[in-house]
Structure 1
Amino acid sequence: MNVFKGQNLLEFSDRFKTDEDCKEYLASMKSEMDYKCLRCNHTACQVRKDFSRQCNICGHIESATANTLFHKVKFGVRKAFFICFEMSTTTKSLSASYMGVRYGVTEKTARLFMLKVREAMGSGGNNPMDGDVHVDEFVLGGRDQGKTGRSYDGKKKKAVTAVQLTEDGKVKRMYAMKINDFSAQSLQYIFVNHISREANVTTDQWRGYRPISKAYNITQLPSNRGLNFKALHTMIHQVKSWIRTTYSWVSDENLNRYFNEFCFRINRSQSKATIFNNLITKMVQGDKIYHKELISN
């Protein structure tokens, strides 16, 4: 498979001139995966001229987009590829209204597909952070008036983030996730999902981390107004600013998907040449997700 590399829009446009070019790319990627017919479970097939796969036994035809997050994309696979390219390579904030105008689709259509892309951007949890890891919680929307510390409860969205640091104190990787409250029961999930038991974890002195220290190597230090966690607090500020200045409203149900997008680009900042191909691979391997799962009640 000839993997697309780089961030040059003109080169990307030349490579993917038609929907067929995009389907060929998806078909090449799927050919490297095990095939199993959805109808009869047979494991042998032949590739047709339109890049679909046909079962050798029952003749069932599987399109290049079937069983991927491109399944039933109604505005064309090429437009979908361009949206994926922008979301994976951009350094700007991209709203659904902007993408809708840019690609000639409705704002709702753009939003739903972008949420699918954000779903694919989530971590598989197969490579947990090790080494020096800093963890802290934050709220989106600011603190409730008249409340201090973690006593603010209100309707603000609560989240926790973890960053893995390099030897010189720079951010190597980052993960963030929504939490219901600041209890150990909620905070533990970012440890379980993203942090190795071998990591050296540093947090502030919030008591919610104490029960977790039974399973993880946690050192608690005074925050000192964030001075002891400079890199971590810089990333918190960036993700809060990114969401606040781009999106007028983010639902609780989709907040983790927005975190996925932000962290996906941060975590692949050293491999930007293949970031688009990495995203398409995750789109192909990801489970189908239906619109009703993306729309808030």
Structure 2
Amino acid sequence: MTLLEFQERFSTIRACEERLFELRWPDGFVCPKCGSKEYCEVVSSSRKEAEERMPLFQCKNCSRQTSVTAGTIFHKTKTDLRKWFLAVYLMANDKRGVAATTIQRNIGVSYPTAWNMLRKIRKAMADRNALYQLEGLVQIDDAYFGGESHGEGKRGRGSDQDPVIVAVQMERGTPKYITMAVVPNLTKEVVAPVLSGRLKPNCVWETDGSKTLVACAKELEPASHIVTKSGTPEAHETFEWIDKVISLAKRFIDGTYHGRIVYKQGYLEEFVYRFNRRKLGNRLVDRLLLACAHAKPLPSV
């Protein structure tokens, strides 16, 4: 939907609350404490501007009171839900990523508030990414992300660069889904658990035969392990797509986020979330709202 249509649909706080209710409880309210579906809505007549205050849902079984934002990234927020929804819209509709200064300017909040909102939305993206594992033919490699990574492809070790494990699920010669994880080092003890959590056990691995990945393959025992050594004539063609994914991720971070040294995993999770849903078009807004509605709270910093 267009920005105007989105603003018209969510022009009131109540409209935002109703949409969050639908996303959290599509089959009706469920008490987070006891699981009961019986509830009543509590609205205090003593509240000032009660019609603009968030209602509470009280479980008829255990009397637990829950708001529609409790237990989500909006938990205890002091920012108007209309501004939250607009931030989600802006983030979903710009494939380059959105800087905190853009959110600050467009929705009328302070820079620290805008920065924290984006951090929480990325947390929702990360939570959603964690629900899925790659399968089938998966190409695996490592790359180094800075500091600013001048140029394309992989770069060597630097004082402010972190190693990142990159895996790409290939289908009919093109990438379908990806995953990326910042790691402290490239030892088998560190990399194997990362791959175990992000890849299904019956994957076919395709790597350049690095010492670490060979050791990980022996430990995790994928369905098979195809090795194409770096420097061989066929290596460039074989790993063309994973090299492109790494290059795109670096451009994404270097472009909007200027090669941020801290919170790299958050920026990579955003890139992965966008890449894996690149064909959703305007449906991405509602998918991101769904992710925000189900993500656990993240403390302010």
TM-score by length of 2: 0.83
Distance 1:32 1:98, change over 3 A: same
Q: How many residues align?
A: 278
Q: Which residue number in structure 2 is paired with residue 95 of structure 1? A: 99
Tell me, yes or no, if structure 1 residue 220 matches structure 2 residue 215.
Answer: no
SS at match of 1:138: strand
Matches of 1:151 and 1:261, distance apart in 2: 24
Q: Is the 8 A contact 1:135 1:161 kept in 2?
A: yes
| Deviation of the 1:58 alpha carbon | 6.1
Structure 1: gaps (5+ residues): 1-6, 293-297
Distance 1:35 1:158, change over 3 A: same
Distance 1:228 1:17, change over 3 A: same
| Residue-by-residue CA offset, 1:118-142 (whole Å, 9 max, x unaligned) | 0110145443211221111111137
Matches of 2:20 and 2:148, distance apart in 1: 46
Q: Which residue number in structure 1 is paired with residue 275 of structure 2? A: 266
Structure 2: gaps (5+ residues): 44-53
Q: Which residue number in structure 1 is paired with residue 50 of structure 2? A: none
Deviates more, 1:67-76 or 1:273-282: 273-282
| RMSD of equivalent CA atoms | 2.6
| Residue-by-residue CA offset, 1:80-115 (whole Å, 9 max, x unaligned) | 011112222322331111211111111111111111
Amino acid at match of 1:258: Y
| Residue-by-residue CA offset, 1:243-264 (whole Å, 9 max, x unaligned) | 1122246354x22111111111
Q: Which residue number in structure 2 is paired with residue 196 of structure 1? A: 200
Q: Which residue number in structure 2 is paired with residue 4 of structure 1? A: none
Matches of 2:261 and 2:56, distance apart in 1: 37
TM-score by length of 1: 0.84
Percent of aligned pairs with the same residue?
A: 22
Distance 1:211 1:271, change over 3 A: same
Amino acid at match of 1:27: F
| Deviation of the 1:163 alpha carbon | 0.9
| Deviation of the 1:57 alpha carbon | 5.0
Q: Is the 8 A contact 1:24 1:51 kept in 2?
A: no
Tell me, yes or no, if structure 1 residue 247 matches structure 2 residue 257.
Answer: yes
Tell me, yes or no, if structure 1 residue 121 matches structure 2 residue 131.
Answer: no
Q: Is the 8 A contact 1:69 1:116 kept in 2?
A: yes
Q: Is the 8 A contact 2:147 2:260 kept in 1?
A: no
Distance 1:200 1:21, change over 3 A: same
